[in-house]
Amino acid sequence: MKYVVILIVLASLGSILYGFSIHEEQIAFGNKCIGFGTVGIFLVAMPLFLYKESQGKKMKDYMLTEENIKKMRGEKAEKAENQ
């Protein structure tokens, strides 16, 4: 998966650079290359990367809850507070 994401990013960057290099002669095709490269980075590579990196992690640890706020302040977390 790591190499697929790297390949997509490199292909997208290549498409963007190619689009800028031919933009003078073929404006419409150059804009399409730049657009497809941008879509490849932001709508394909970024979600794949985020999915790969977030596997096995608890989302609760990254949420801003009362318990996590107390942990950040150094206070004891009272789990029985709501009971």
Q: Where are the domains positioned within the chain?
A: 2-75
Average pLDDT, the chain: 87
Rounded to the nearest angstrom, the gap between the alpha carbon of residue 73 and the centroid of all alpha carbons in its chain is: 30
Span 44-74, pLDDT tens digits: 999 999 999 888 888 887 788 888 888 888 8
- Side chain identity at 64, as an amino acid letter? L
Rounded to the nearest angstrom, the gap between the alpha carbon of residue 60 and the centroid of all alpha carbons in its chain is: 19
Q: For position 14, what pLDDT does the model report?
A: 97
Secondary structure (3-state) at 58 = coil
Span 5-56, pLDDT tens digits: 999 999 999 999 999 999 899 999 999 999 999 999 999 999 999 999 888 8
Instruction: In whole angstroms, give the CA distance from residue 41 to residue 6.
Output: 10
Residue 79's pLDDT band (cuts 50, 70, 90): low
Q: Is the pTM of this model over 0.75?
A: no
Instruction: Please answer whether residues 49 and 5 qualify as being in contact, where contact means their C-beta atoms are separated by less than 8 angstroms.
Output: yes
- Side chain identity at 62, as an amino acid letter? Y
Q: For position 62, what pLDDT does the model report?
A: 78
> Residue length, the chain?
83
